[in-house]
Structure 1
Amino acid sequence: MRPAVEPFAHELASVVLWIGHIQWKRAHGGEWDSPVLERLDGLRHHDALLNPDGSAYAWPEAEFIVGNPPFLGEKKQGPCLGQAYVDQLRSEYQGVLPATSDLVCYWFEKARAAIEAGTTRRAGLISTNSINMPGNRRVLERINETGGIFQAWPNLPWLQDGAAVRVAAVCFDDGREAQHVLGYLEGEGTPAEVEVLVPVPVIHANLSGGADVTTAARLPENANLSFQGVKLAGAFDLPGNVARAWLTLPNPDGADNADVLRPLLNGDDLVDVRGDTWVIDFGSRTEAEAARYLVPFAHVVEHVKPVRATNKDKMRAAQWWQLARPYTGMRNALAPLPRYLATSIVAKHRAFVWCDARDLPSGRLVVVASDEDWMHGVLNSRLHVMWAAANASTHGKGNDLVYTSSTCFEAFPLPTWTPQTQAQVAEAARFLETARTALRAQGYTLTGMMNLLSDGLGTASPAYTLRLAHERLDAAVAAAYGWDWPLAGDEILTQLLALNLERTARAQPTPTFRPAPVP
């Protein structure tokens, strides 16, 4: 039996689209105060995407298409719909939508195709709020290639069976609509909550109206510097007291357990109170080499091997004593460094923190293989934070930003340094770290510090020095680019994008990462 897919109503001569508590009304002959139930003979109960033979279902003509299609991520589609159905769907849309697309993207593509064919005038659909992210964004790019997005709410709260999720609402046509509006909620979740509609010249595929940062390309000079941390794929983690006790245990050939026991860092360790979790990390050692470390190896044999031996991933099953992947690139990049920079992938506030070389970053972190103060300064500056936010997706009911190496770091154009500007940024970065250290001594976590900064503060605040440190740093980084400061957010993104595109056009690396060392 083929899986049931949510039916979709197609033929509507007039519509009322409800987006959360926001009412969008367009109707022939007037407006409705609420949705009207009446007989609509054009409604059909049918799989909206495929016919029983696996071919694409042809939607009937309609003046408008509106709806709330089902959201279902790439990895959940097979278990929920049946792999045979998913394979048919992806085969039918091969070359049109990537296999990474959320199920909702297929509704957007069918509505786009109907508009292009002239069988529909406009569409308004609700989707997962990740539709503007790289895995899904292709469908919005196609909409802008053949028409245009004229109204969108990129990120709205939505209650689904009692659970708070985030959605996007997108309205599009064949490009005729001259007015483009983005919708936001200010004061979300407070009594002062209000909808704000912002006219913009154009709405890009990332559902923004400013500089189109989606056109930025990865820069060669930033390659092999940023990495996502390790995924364990097994019970390799240990309480700190157990790991420290193991450090003193002997091995027959004199192997030191410190070779394979490391503190594990996750996002909370960076921004809140440091935990005490360690990990057994055999790296790329063979089974025989790992077995030299008697107690750590015995633990993995008992707690990891039985589970990994049944893993569908053949490499994980065969190399059960190793973490999920070798992580060779990250290990090689970090190996010569006494420290490195890391940021939590999901964070309310974007900040980079120094980590000791011995700390193993978890998969919840992005690390940058640099021990230079000037890199610390650039990444913590408002210029990089703005760029990262514009390229980020959002996560969870807290609407926290997600940092990715490819778009947030690899596409970010670093300054072309002079010895003087590099030294100034390094000095400002060291002062920023001094200000953070002073607040940590008073009991503040990094999250607490950033919350103080975002709330606004005066000279009586313990974080006032930190505010001044950020201001000094931002001015120094802007000077390294040769830009006047301060700059508005849109100006920052516009100039950074222009710099990225300029360097991309040169088709060769710009020597921005490894200039002469600062004395």
Structure 2
Amino acid sequence: GDGAAPPSLAAESAECVGRGSPVPLHLAFAVPDHPWVDSADGADVRIAMTVGAMGAGEGRLLTVTDEREGGGDGLEVITAERGGVIHADLTIGANVSSSKQLLANSGLSSMGFMLAGSGFIVAPEEAARLESNAPIKPYRNGRDLTDRPRGVLLIDLFGHTAEEVRARWPATYQWVLERVKPERDHNNRPRLREQWWIFAEPRKTLRAALFGLDRYIATVETAKHRCFQFLDASIAPDHKLIAIAIDDAFALGVFSSRVHGLWALAAGGWLGVGNDPVYNKSRCFETFPFPAATPEQQTRIRELAEQIDAHRKRQQALHAELTLTGMYNVLEKLKVSLPMTAKERAIHEMGLVSVLKSLHDELDAAVLAAYGWNDAPSDEAILERLVALNAERAAEEAAGQVRWLRPAFQHPEQPQPTQAEMGLSRPTHSAPSAAKKGGTSPSPPPATKQRLPWPNTLPEQVAAVARVLAETRAPLAEADLAARFTGKGPWKKRLPQLLDTLVALGRARMLEDGRWMG
């Protein structure tokens, strides 16, 4: 293999030895991350090593500072030693592993779609041969973000039955039938065999969280550099991306700061021969306490975050060979004033990396100011303060005060875009319909003679369509549904998109004859 479990797992296993025992244990010795090379079987992995001892106490922590090619098959490993209480995540100092998940951050982050079928991915020229209104969208994986986008698209049939797909998009149905179903027929999971046209993990909660947003924040789960960026809401994320359903550049700025970068490194894991950091959303994001910034501080952080995101995208658009990894490799050299190779100097010029560095420096200062930490704290001090702030926020939440990141979406009493705000909850009563009275009309008359005004905002439009479908209790053709509303402009063109959204949210389905039900 080319990787190992995060070192924290080994430490937690060591910690578990003492659980339930009348005699406490402590870690007397630990190496959190060490290379393991075995030429006999080709193993090239990372391991953690621990030694437990009875009672409470301090221990010796060895960290690898350098790895060099040895004379034989192994590596020469240089370590540094530190003494103190060794925490469950095999660190000394700030006890990041003790941090609690916060309600304030809940329900917003998710891994992207897991496909279990490469046939869902299509090139633009292949998609051009399928229906123009088929649910096909841009698709990004980790390499698309760190390197260059491949430009591929994704067929996303979530929310539709196979019969619906065949009736509405026959060419798309045949494409998936021929390229996905044969692979799924041999899958060990019954659901994947039976629902062969649907992704293995379609992420219903992510779809609901992204609804109504024009963009969201994404980061690559395992990457050398922890970069966050905005993606257009039309882009489908791969399961190796962590998608965060927030469109506010203030959040992007905090994520992109030194403060969050330190927390992500300390709270996350490591993977692969390259020993790249892993962004575990449960530990890196859901435990992270955001600053209680003033409106002025939020505005400044937003401005800098937008500039950083725009700068990188602009320079990449100008230079086809420019990558995020390349830019941040050079930025790291600039931070420590190391000499650059000719290739790195070229990247520096194409990416205007000194400009990027100055923006990050200003962002780091702005985020520290938002926390009230203007004393140039060390990395260790920042982590200790974040641990303390996490405990403070957890205590606040236990007392009923939650600092929601997206209160309109997350707040239990005023959820958006679901239930009360969007009107997607099932009504407790509905107007009588032709179907209830025994009629056979495929398109029953409106529950009221008055046509409804077409709402102005997207959430209101979805709510109105969902309400009509739910109250009618009988199939409606798209034209009959449109006849329930009155409005100006080309509002009817949005109906197919709104219906697809309701399908994704589980609030609508299309019958074989093309009519719709709630």
1:202-351 equivalences under 5 Å are 202-246=85-129, 249=131, 256-257=133-134, 260-291=135-166, 292-351=168-227
Any conservation in 1 of the 2:305–2:363 contact (CA below 8 Å)? yes
TM-fit CA distance, 1:485: 4.8
The CA deviation string for residues 306-333 of structure 1, in whole angstroms up to 9 with x for no partner, is: 3323433222222111111331110111
TM-score by length of 1: 0.68
Deviations 1:105-133 (A, max 9, x none): xxxxxxxxxxxxxxxxxxxxxxx553523
Percent identity at matched positions?
Answer: 36
Spell out, residue by residue over 1:249-296, the C-alpha distance to the aligned partner (whole angstroms, 9 max, x if none).
Answer: 46xxxxx12xx1112110010111111222211012122222221111
Q: TM-score, normalised by structure 2?
A: 0.69
* 281-290 or 375-384: bigger deviation: 281-290
**Is 1:448 aligned with 2:326?**
yes
Q: 1:334 to 1:282 in 2, by over 3 A?
A: same
Alpha carbons of structure 1 residues 129 and 317: separation in structure 2 relative to 1, 3 Å: closer
3-state DSSP of counterpart to 1:470 = helix
Are 2:403 and 1:511 equivalent residues in the alignment? yes
For 1:330 and 1:179, locate their aligned partners in 2 and report how far apart those are by CA, in whole Å. 43
Give the CA RMSD over aligned residues: 2.6
SS of aligned partner of 1:456? helix
504-513 or 381-390, which deviates more: 504-513
Tell me how far apart the structure 1 counterparts of residues 126 and 256 of structure 2 sit (CA, whole Å). Answer: 33
The one-letter code matched in structure 2 to 1:513 is L
1:130-145 matches, cutoff 5 A: 130-133=6-9, 138-143=12-17
Partner of 1:162: 42
Q: Is the 8 A contact 1:270 1:344 kept in 2?
A: yes
- Which residue identity does 2:45 align to in structure 1? V
Contact 1:234 1:307 in 2 (8 A): yes
Q: Structure 2: any 5+ residue segments left out of the alignment?
A: 340-344, 409-518
Q: Separation in 1 of the partners of 2:355 and 2:202?
A: 42
The C-alpha deviation readout for 1:398-417, integer Å capped at 9, x for no partner, is: 00011111111111111123
Cα separation, 2, equivalents of 1:244 and 1:303:
14
Contact residue 148 and residue 323 of structure 2 kept, 8 A: yes
The separation in 2 between residues aligned to 1:266 and 1:352, in whole angstroms, is 14
Unaligned 5+ residue runs, structure 1?
1-70, 74-127, 251-255
Write the deviation string for residues 393-442 of structure 1: whole angstroms up to 9, x where unpaired: 11110000111111111111111232111111111212222432454234
Alpha carbons of structure 1 residues 332 and 515: separation in structure 2 relative to 1, 3 Å:
closer
Which structure has more relative contact order (CA 8 Å, sep 6+)? It is: 2
Q: From the superposition, tell whether residues 215 and 450 of structure 1 become closer, same or farther in structure 2 (CA, over 3 Å).
A: same
Say which is worse superposed, 267-276 or 234-243, in terms of deviation: 234-243
Q: 1:167-186 residue pairs with structure 2 within 5 A?
A: 167-175=47-55, 179-186=58-65
SS, match of residue 189 in structure 1 = strand
Q: CA deviation at 1:170?
A: 1.2
Q: What letter matches 1:289 in structure 2? A: E
Query: Structure 1 residues 283, 495: CA separation in 2 closer, same or farther (over 3 Å shift)?
Result: same
Q: For 1:384 and 1:351, how far apart are their aligned partners in 2?
A: 11
Q: Secondary structure at the match of 1:347?
A: coil
Matched AA of 1:184: T
Contact 1:432 1:466 (8 Å CA) reproduced: yes
2:232 is matched with: 356
1:165 Cα offset (Å): 0.9
Read off the aligned partner of 2:102 and give its amino acid letter.
Answer: L
Q: Distance in 1 between matches of 2:115 and 2:372?
A: 44
1:200 deviates by 3.1
Q: Distance in 2 between matches of 1:194 and 1:316?
A: 46
Contact kept, 8 Å, 2:26 with 2:58, in 1: the verdict is: no
Q: CA deviation at 1:144?
A: 5.7
